[in-house]
Chain A
Amino acid sequence: MEPVFSLLTGIFLTIAIYLMMSKFIIRMLMGVVILGNAVNLLIFTSGRIMREVPPVIGPGLDVPAGPVANPLPQALILTAIVISFSFFAFLLVLSWRAYSTLGTDNTDEMRVAEPDGTPLPPLGY
């Protein structure tokens, strides 16, 4: 099962990187979403995919009976999902604001903070 998931992660990462290399912020945003999911899949696969037995300890037992799924990657992914979603929400609002303030979603035209052709500093006085 792991090789399939590894390939899937690779495909996700490829698409994410391709989209994030675009000049247009809307595509970069989609790249961010896919990148977050690619990483979640990667962590999931890193934790080894075992039986579909939930890691619940039965009544009267100290340890689970038999192998169970690894719960830790799921906890990690849950954290990562929350964080990547909040990041995406912030970047979405920021991009909308950038579009309405700067009038473009093309990063080549976003040169307000670094205007072209600023003069050299004075050479003397």
Chain B
Amino acid sequence: MAVSSPPVDLSAALVLKPVAAVDWLVILPVAWCIGIGAVLMMVRHRTFLHPPIAVAALGILAGLDATLLWHVAQNGPVTMVMGRWLPPFGIAFTVDLTGALFALIAAVVALAGAVAAVTDINDGGRRYGFYPFLMLLMAGVSGAFLTGDIFNLYVWFEVLLISSFGLLVLGAEREQIDGAVKYGFLNLVGTTLFLIATGYLYGIFGTLNMADIAAKAGPLRETAPLTTLIALFVFAFAMKAAAFPVNFWLPASYHTPRIVVSALFAGLLTKVGIYALIRVSVMLFPLERDDLSLVIAAVGALTMITGALGALAQTDTRRLLGYLVISGIGSMLAGIALGGPGGIGGAVFYALHSMVVMTALYLAAGLAARLGGGFSMASLSGLYARHALFSALSLMLFFAVSGLPPFSGFWPKVMLVKAALDGGAGWLAAALLFTGFLTMIATGRLFLLAYWRPAAAAAPSAQDAVPATALLPLIALTAVSVLIGLFPQTLLGLVHEAALTLDEPSAYLHSVFPAGSAP
């Protein structure tokens, strides 16, 4: 054992500088969620402890993400590598403005869901593990938004998918089992396609670090079939995001679980697919995205219009909202297809707005069912007479999802329509506006029937007292939507900056490979 090996130059392989304390923020959201999830598993039989721990933890998570966003806005993208291995060998977590914005809004949405679940998820659901699954879901979602390594992105996809399975079958009713089978198989195919694309990407590039891929893509364009590769990625992420021809899993399953679970899924899961699509197609392969832009635009237009038409045809409020989720995905795809700071910024802004508003809408559908005795539009009636404040909140959300001012849906729609007109794609602008019109009809009819229609004589007896924990998250999320709509400057500035970083990722690359350590 006394044999001393010759001194090794570690600086070629390891980060030797101690990591600045503030850089730990990059990894902290994920580590925090996993840690709290483990704590909740340890106290799984003391279900009365779950809500306070989870709500406090998600509040702190939102604080962490807000600090991270502030840090990134001040200093540009931040990188941290696992095990101190230098990139591209170590798995890198790289956060730019896009990732930080998505992570912050996801934490806010999850916090609202956790508060709403205090009354919506009963003791049995908690014993089964609602809150641990929620924390692990957030670990997967945060990890997907913060990672800078494409295989790591796949792993976080799987983490959030497995957690979502647990949440989806919570209660194990017949409908849930049926929905979960379709959701499970189709999402498995989607993530496997993502893994296949990642395998090919590794075969072509020999690296999985996103910054490294972006830097190496230039010379490889001559020889490697990159357009085929990116088409595979687009297909896989479109499946995750529920874009038109491959969206059948969403309306088949999103209306089956507990309403809080539906709300969280609507806010978080499909947007991870959109985020991954933005990251891969815009930042890593911009030229190939240009080649495919017409395909993505057509898929986006079909997604938004079929989604809105589907919403028009539904009787069940939850299924109506499921189709509105799909319709929103179409608008984001339109932004990705248009490209440039306007289109990408519009897509990012729309995704953030959709996370808040779709979650709030599902929570509102849950409250409407609590007040009116069901989810069927044939029987829901007289909600306005029963609870005027709740009806006002619902109406604001209906306007927001249709893209009317002064709510959060208006600005991204303006950005997207402007980008479409500037880019000479008038038909896409028309599709966006037509979708807004159809959405307004669908939600307006829901308001007319469920809220304005006088209560039927045989209406089920209502529980007039709405618990504060059910109303509070709805008020908070609606307030976020209204504030974004009234004071959009801050978010518009951030989104524009985020889109510029995605469009010209030199700051991102520089964060991973500081000057002098080119890959």
Q: Evaluate contact between A113 and B185: CB separation under 8 angstroms.
A: no
Q: Evaluate contact between A39 and B165: CB separation under 8 angstroms.
A: no
Chain A 99-125: CB-based contact to B (< 8 A → 1; otherwise 0): 001100001001111100011111001
Cα A120 to Cα B449 with chains together (Å)? 13
Q: Evaluate contact between B203 and A47: CB separation under 8 angstroms.
A: yes
Q: Evaluate contact between A121 and B315: CB separation under 8 angstroms.
A: yes
User: In the complex, which residues of chain A have a beta carbon less than 8 angstroms from the beta carbon of B316?
Assistant: 118
User: Is there a chain B Cβ closer than 8 Å to A83's Cβ?
Assistant: yes
User: In the complex, which residues of chain B have a beta carbon less than 8 angstroms from the beta carbon of A102?
Assistant: 174, 177-178
Q: Evaluate contact between B178 and A110: CB separation under 8 angstroms.
A: yes
Q: Evaluate contact between B203 and A46: CB separation under 8 angstroms.
A: yes
- B158, B199, B316 pick with most chain A CB within 10 angstroms: B199
User: In the complex, which residues of chain A have a beta carbon less than 8 angstroms from the beta carbon of B252?
Assistant: 113-114
CB proximity to B under 8 Å, residues A36-86? 36, 39, 42-43, 45-48, 59-60, 62, 72-73, 76, 79-80, 83-84, 86
User: Is there a chain A Cβ closer than 8 Å to B255's Cβ?
Assistant: yes
Q: Evaluate contact between A60 and B195: CB separation under 8 angstroms.
A: no
User: Is there a chain B Cβ closer than 8 Å to A23's Cβ?
Assistant: no
Cα A122 to Cα B445 with chains together (Å)? 9
Q: A28-B185, A90-B162, A97-B177 are in contact. Are A113 and B256 (CB under 8 A)?
A: yes
User: In the complex, which residues of chain A have a beta carbon less than 8 angstroms from the beta carbon of B196?
Assistant: 39, 42
Q: Evaluate contact between A91 and B184: CB separation under 8 angstroms.
A: yes
In whole Å, how far is B236's beta carbon from the nearest beta carbon of chain A? 12
Q: Evaluate contact between B185 and A112: CB separation under 8 angstroms.
A: no
Cα A121 to Cα B313 with chains together (Å)? 7
Q: Evaluate contact between A121 and B177: CB separation under 8 angstroms.
A: no
The residue from B5, B177, B200, B378 contacting A101, defined by CB atoms under 8 A apart: B177
Cα A112 to Cα B172 with chains together (Å)? 13
Q: Evaluate contact between A20 and B189: CB separation under 8 angstroms.
A: yes
Closest Cβ neighbor of B185 among chain A residues: A28
Contact size range, B: 35 or more
Describe A's contact surface by its main secondary structure. Answer: helix
Cα A114 to Cα B189 with chains together (Å)? 22
User: Is there a chain A Cβ closer than 8 Å to B469's Cβ?
Assistant: no
The residue from A45, A91, A95, A112 contacting B174, defined by CB atoms under 8 A apart: A112
Describe B's contact surface by its main secondary structure. Answer: helix
Q: Evaluate contact between A45 and B203: CB separation under 8 angstroms.
A: yes
Contact size range, A: 35 or more
Cα A90 to Cα B423 with chains together (Å)? 46
User: In the complex, which residues of chain A have a beta carbon less than 8 angstroms from the beta carbon of B255?
Assistant: 113
In whole Å, how far is B440's beta carbon from the nearest beta carbon of chain A? 16
Cα A35 to Cα B492 with chains together (Å)? 43
In whole Å, how far is B352's beta carbon from the nearest beta carbon of chain A? 29
The residue from B8, B203, B449 contacting A62, defined by CB atoms under 8 A apart: B8
User: In the complex, which residues of chain A have a beta carbon less than 8 angstroms from the beta carbon of B381?
Assistant: 125
Q: Evaluate contact between A86 and B178: CB separation under 8 angstroms.
A: no
User: Is there a chain A Cβ closer than 8 Å to B403's Cβ?
Assistant: no
User: In the complex, which residues of chain B have a beta carbon less than 8 angstroms from the beta carbon of A121?
Assistant: 313-315, 377-378, 445, 449
User: Is there a chain A Cβ closer than 8 Å to B253's Cβ?
Assistant: yes
User: Is there a chain A Cβ closer than 8 Å to B181's Cβ?
Assistant: yes
User: In the complex, which residues of chain B have a beta carbon less than 8 angstroms from the beta carbon of A98?
Assistant: 177-178, 181
The residue from A76, A97, A120 contacting B151, defined by CB atoms under 8 A apart: A76
Interface CB pairs A-B, < 8 A, 18 = A20-B185, A28-B185, A32-B185, A36-B192, A42-B200, A43-B198, A47-B202, A95-B181, A98-B177, A98-B181, A101-B172, A112-B178, A114-B251, A119-B378, A120-B315, A121-B314, A121-B377, A121-B449
On A, residues with C-beta under 8 Å from B are 20, 25, 28, 32, 35-36, 39, 42-43, 45-48, 59-60, 62, 72-73, 76, 79-80, 83-84, 86-87, 90-91, 94-95, 97-98, 101-102, 107, 110-114, 118-122, 125
- 5 A-B pairs with least C-beta separation: A46-B203, A43-B199, A112-B178, A113-B178, A113-B179
